[in-house]
Amino acid sequence: MTAKISLRNVTKQFTVRAGKGSKAASGSQAGTGSGTGSGNGSKQPTVLTALESLSLDVRDGEFLTLVGPSGSGKTTLLDLLAGLSTPTSGEVLVDGQPVLGPGKDRAVVFQQYALFPWRTASANVSIGLEGKATDGRRLTRRERAAKASEYLKLVGLAGFEDRYPHELSGGMKQRVAIARSLAYEPDVLLMDEPFAALDAQTREQLQDELLRIWRATGKTIVFITHGIDEAVYLGQRVAVLSARPGRLKEIVEVDIPDRDGDEDIRSHPAFVEQRHKVWTLLHDEVRLAQDAGHRKILPDGTAPDEPAGNESTLERSAA
């Protein structure tokens, strides 16, 4: 099996304005191994390492799930794969070519659906088809609508073509978003906690449909989740990231015999075992992350992060 996606020693750093609590922050900056600009309580920008020397291969047609504590850089990693940002160092390769920006070979599904509210379901699905296709041909309006219907049908929304997003439930919106990302036929589907905002039943239903679509289309899928069950249920492999700075802690091969059978695989002994394995790996990291007081960054770039208690981070990077 060839690698569809490979990350080689990828590091991603953000420049953050030092906030008021920058005394504590400077301690942690030393911990993350990046000394630049971490003066004593200065207003100088500091560097925050979100991902550090991460190497990972995703096989062609693989369903890889990615778990890690909050703030471990999962979304950052997905942005790199999507071409929405560039790595500080290292290489992101898709089909052996470095990623230079967003491309039609990759599609992203966001947690908050990100549908265009002024477009109907059908128009949302076909937005990716409106430009010139890779062969330089432009689809006619009718061809686009037909394709949109086809993909809406694939996600179980036949007949909802003319609905506006505000007329759809959360589950339906996410289905439309999935249809939109599938419609221009990317090889790779990048999904960032796509089912996190849904209720348990809808989530399970969509998980099964995603598996069905994956089997039917043979896409390579990178799926970020907070749910350990979800990660083990969906993934052929589960990649576990460490607490910030995100590094690849371990990859767990999910090997559940008789996966396509009728029985509830969530109660299969193999499932329970793998789940426990991932849980243990993640649990350590979540505790570390909590000890370090990691919280998410604010949209304006300030990090309300790290009060006291960075010893654990320091220990870790020393080790």
Partner 1 sequence: MSATLTQKPAASSAPPQAPAVGHSGPSDSGQRNQGTTAVLAFLRTAAVSAGSGVWKAAGILAFLALWELGPTYLASPSTRVFLPPLHEVLAAWSKLYDAGSIQGHLAASLTRSVSGFGAALVAGVSLGLLIAWYGRLNSVLNPLLELFRNTAALALLPVFTLLLGIGEESKISIVAYAAFFPVLLNTIAGVKTVDPLLIRAAKSLGLSSLALFRKVILPSAVPTIFTGIRMAGTASILVLIAAEMVGAKAGLGYLIVNAQSSFLIPDMYAGILTVSILGLAVNFLLVALERHFSRWRTAVGAGS
Ligand X SMILES: Nc1ncnc2c1ncn2[C@@H]1O[C@H](COP(=O)(O)OP(=O)(O)OP(=O)(O)O)[C@@H](O)[C@H]1O
> Given the rule CB under 8 A, which residues bind partner 1?
82-84, 102-104, 106-108, 110, 112, 114, 116-119, 127-128, 130-131, 164, 166-167, 180-181, 184, 299
C-beta of residue 198 within 8 angstroms of C-beta of residue 205: no
Two structure tokens written together for 18: 């030092």
Q: Is 54 in the site for ligand X (CB under 6 A)?
A: no
The verdict on whether omega for the bond into residue 245 sits within 30 degrees of 0, i.e. cis, is yes
SS3 3: strand
Rounded to a whole number of angstroms, the minimum distance from the CB of residue 147 to partner 1 is 14
Residue (62 or 79) nearer to partner 1, CB: 79
Give the contacts of 222 (CB within 8 A, at least 6 positions apart): 5, 58, 64, 66, 78, 81, 188, 189, 190, 191
Q: Does 72 bind ligand X (CB under 6 A)?
A: yes
249 binds ligand X (CB under 6 A): no
Length of the chain in terms of residues written:
319
With CB cut-offs between 5 and 8 Å by kind, which of ligand X, partner 1, Mg ion, none does residue 84 bind? partner 1
Query: What residue spans of 218-268 are helical by DSSP H?
Result: 228-234
Cβ contact 182:217 at 8 Å: yes
83 binds ligand X (CB under 6 A): no
Partner touching 244 among ligand X, Mg ion, partner 1, none, CB below 5 to 8 Å by kind: ligand X
User: Cβ of residue 247: shortest distance to ligand X, in angstroms?
Assistant: 12
Minimum distance, C-beta of residue 163 to ligand X, in the bound complex (Å): 29
Query: Is 225 near ligand X (CB under 6 A)?
Result: no
d(CA 252, CA 290): 23
